[in-house]
Structure 1
């Protein structure tokens, strides 16, 4: 196995650093409970559709991107959601939250759910018609870790039909926009380890990663305290958990469902504490199959973020590293096509350092963060030999706008 330089800690996207293993007994299902008293829930309302509330996009003079783009950016007025139009240059601030935006997600109907001031907030695609869906408790900035674990809202994730939002608050919860009901699917697991119980109230923290394409299953992050974690699948009909591992390791770092829901792709391009390469996860059994073993077979091939094309082949950013190469955490990656027979064909002659990737829905290219550790200027990388374009936005957590207004 190629020597892998240990990373000090990898944030799970859910709640920070966690540990490499935990007893399987901690992942047992629990009975669904209502997370808050019904009287404190907002009255049931029908959320207006985006088509009725979204104003037209600003007119642009050129078309670089296939759709308008959202990202969280600290420029120019703190951490806010910004919208970049298809010209790659015209910017609009979607939010103006005094204390910034913590996380967000865009629905298939174009609405945006985000966390600010520890509230779950809903706006339309241009930041209008703002409403607070879940009013979370105020958290003192000096609060200790256990209070943050218990009270912090994060990771809103829309269901495929735009009717519900999964999020983390004391566990994995689901908010139904049609009924106003808020249901706890899986509470955080209380600490039972006597060596850690005096320090940490919880041993496992749950939050959503993504919904299955048919909306029947949630892929969740299970963050172990104080470090490490796993991915867990929850069948919404039964609340039964199914834990996913790759050769006993946490499956890190990019997870994405195939469009038909038949598999979950997990890729990792960073040499460090987790295996690099590409795995197919069977969502029915949790079993994993290495499609590209990035660590154990030379030349080593780190992979970032695959995208399935209509013919069943995939686009991906793939690197090539030999044992004699200088050790580095992240290797340059090239936009490539991976065929059904596993052959890898580079579609470009250049390579990039890739932090995160958002593929175009039509596969014509990808928006990337060209850095592993920092908010940097976003780039559009076409799936052909066209030049890479720098976009007028520095940010992270990129998502496409739903173009119902075009």
Structure 2
């Protein structure tokens, strides 16, 4: 069967280059580390309302309709969109752009900035790992493990090995030397459709944290859609299944993955498929036949057991690769029955965040900048927000500040002779400034002006006198600077 797929890939490649499902835009990495020398001061972003009009009709602004706050990357920083959709709270203060992030169920946030993988919570801002070309960080639900891809790791990274292959690595939240999860295959000079070489990309941990989903991409990449979903389960067992061509989404209960078989644009197959997480077996809920092509985007099985997605059933007589995708927000049962949830056809959704309780979805449409909250209840209007960012995800209910301080490193004033740039100091300077305690320039140097600001802040917060950011002071500073 795979021979047929590979032959289809080759034909598609000869006819056209791939128009795969758009992903969340990621700013390019910067080659300058955020180590000892400051390249810029931490970024404090003004909050402005976009002028572009939303796509989904009607554009009536409702109040407090989003079920929870949302983290996203906007203006190079992690921001939090409040439930009213009209307020953004800055969460990170980094000299270099934040380019990807992930959040654990316990509230710990990890993100990439410069060459650093950074964790942020009540134990402080700390660098977990530094290496060039880190991508796709994903933190486990319990907040203890972080996986990521390294394209060109330094030699000797792995204990007992002189080489360091490209591939997926894992770090503990406490830091230390990373472990290799799975190595990329060596890149062949020419593609071999029968025996493909794979590069592995972290996608997501399962909701229970006992399985890790990776996406395998053929090397070298030649513009052909398709790949494999790779599930690493308990005891390292690996399940592989064919996948095409969008990011797979775990079901809320973790029992299966929903995969959209592409659309619109050239693709190997179209439709909606479920992959069993235990054995990789596949079930087709919607598949093409002689009369109809199902175009599907962003499917996910939610808490009520139904799969939700954006679907358009297109007659084969009118479909082409340039077909204008106009899907309906829909609910799909396990027997393939489609129930449209709203009456209006939509423009193409390119990034979707479903609410687990099936109350709606936060969407970036192809033709508009602001994210839009679209309720599943057709009597409720769409909610345009002021957010225009990417990598958006729900803020967990857990308090990210509540930590035991076991790994917190205090920050104290630096002597003139020992003064050096510290990004953690730059972070606290930005937070002090936003709260009205003047630390001087956010230069990452803990000098007398910053010490006076810390002393004033500690007094205002009811903490013992001092000029040091200990764990209690950090947690109070972090809470106040991230609470709207």
* Matched-pair contact (CA < 8 Å) for 1:381–1:387: yes
Match of 1:24 in 2: none
What are the within-5 Å matches in structure 2 for residues 61-76 of structure 1?
62-73=63-74, 75=75
What are the within-5 Å matches in structure 2 for residues 362-373 of structure 1?
362-371=357-366
* Matched-pair contact (CA < 8 Å) for 2:20–2:245: no
| Structure 1 residue 291 displacement after superposition | 0.8
The 1:333–1:123 alpha-carbon spacing in structure 2 relative to 1, beyond 3 Å, is same
User: Highest CA radius of gyration, 1 or 2?
Assistant: 2
Structure 2 distance, partners of 1:83, 1:194, is 45
- Listed as ranges, the gaps of 5+ residues in structure 2 are 1-7, 27-61, 151-165, 400-482
The 1:155–1:264 alpha-carbon spacing in structure 2 relative to 1, beyond 3 Å, is same
| Structure 1 residue 67 displacement after superposition | 0.6
Match of 2:185 in 1: 189
- TM-score normalised by L of structure 2: 0.61
> What SS class does the counterpart of residue 89 from structure 2 fall into?
strand
| Structure 1 residue 194 displacement after superposition | 5.0
Match of 2:354 in 1: 359
Deviations 1:166-186 (A, max 9, x none): 111231111122574521111
| Structure 1 residue 278 displacement after superposition | 0.8
Structure 2 distance, partners of 1:122, 1:390, is 31
Larger fraction in strand? 1
The 1:7–1:110 alpha-carbon spacing in structure 2 relative to 1, beyond 3 Å, is farther
Deviations 1:67-94 (A, max 9, x none): 1112223x4xxx3322110110101232
Q: Greater shift after overlay, 343-352 or 220-229? A: 220-229
Deviations 1:242-264 (A, max 9, x none): 3211xxxx432131122333211
Structure 2 distance, partners of 1:375, 1:80, is 21
Match of 2:125 in 1: 130
Aligned residues: 327
Match of 1:165 in 2: 146
The 1:321–1:204 alpha-carbon spacing in structure 2 relative to 1, beyond 3 Å, is same
* Matched-pair contact (CA < 8 Å) for 1:279–1:292: yes
The partner residue of 2:311 within 297, 305, 318 is 318
Match of 2:18 in 1: 8
> What SS class does the counterpart of residue 351 from structure 1 fall into?
coil
Deviations 1:144-197 (A, max 9, x none): xxxxxxxx1011112122211111123111112257452111122223x3558x
Match of 2:248 in 1: 255
| Structure 1 residue 292 displacement after superposition | 0.7
* Matched-pair contact (CA < 8 Å) for 2:304–2:357: no
* Matched-pair contact (CA < 8 Å) for 1:218–1:236: no
The 1:10–1:324 alpha-carbon spacing in structure 2 relative to 1, beyond 3 Å, is closer
Larger fraction in helix? 2
Match of 1:235 in 2: 233
Structure 2 distance, partners of 1:276, 1:233, is 22
